Structure 1
């Protein structure tokens, strides 16, 4: 199992740099991390319960709290701080971020399209 050796958050660009012990280096946006939080609030307790987290384009990471030698808790400025980002989960996000981001964008587009198709009822 890979270990994270360095985490560095850039407040201006809102990017978290992650370096693993095998020298894999990746940068992930605060928005991506917030919308892919491992918390039950976002992931639910099964794949069917996954929640679509919207409007997090401007979210920032306020603090990064180490949890033992296996994870961090990311505290976001919207108050979200549940869910532990284990090294294993961060590695999964790093390895699959383009696919995960595209799936997220597709879900957002489908959500917005379904919102627009709801008929409006005018009451006289």
Structure 2
């Protein structure tokens, strides 16, 4: 069901902390994660961020202050946030939220390495969108 792994614990509570810019998710296995909105935004599972295949990922910058303005349920397996920068196409399954929460240290390290390789930093503005028009952006 849309990437939902049957072995992944399910959320027991989800709280949007607008001031501290974190999504707090408590899972059935006792795990409790505080996932920064910025991390969620730069690792959005959307085609806009992930591309349509390996090597097509779009490095996200300028997302440190991004907020979540709405959080909608998607069936019984995911949530879909609307971010303050207008991004709303990412659907975060329970297993993906668990992954983001449990792998934060490695994900931040990977993000910083990709920024360095690109010669930019996390606060740089996003470049203007090119002429890509697949309809999913």
**Normalised by the shorter chain, which TM-score bucket?**
0.7 to 0.9
Which one of 62, 69, 73 corresponds to residue 76 of structure 2?
A: 69
Which residue of 2 is the match for residue 27 of structure 1?
A: 34
Which residue of 1 is the match for residue 65 of structure 2?
A: 58
What aligned pairs does 1:89-108 form with structure 2 within 5 A after superposition? 89-108=96-115
Structure having the higher Rg: 1
Which residue of 1 is the match for residue 56 of structure 2?
A: 49
Aligned length: 113
- CA shift, 1:110, in A, is 2.0
1:58-117 Cα deviation digits (max 9, x unpaired): 10011110111100001101000002100011111122111011100111122226xxxx
User: Greater helix percent: which structure?
Assistant: 1
1:12-61 Cα deviation digits (max 9, x unpaired): 11011011111110101111100000001101122211110011011001
Task: Please tell me the root mean square deviation across aligned C-alpha atoms, in Å.
Answer: 1.1
Separation in 1 of the partners of 2:13 and 2:81? 14
Structure 2, unaligned stretches of length 5 or more?
A: 1-6, 121-137
- Report the TM-score, using the length of structure 1 for normalisation: 0.86
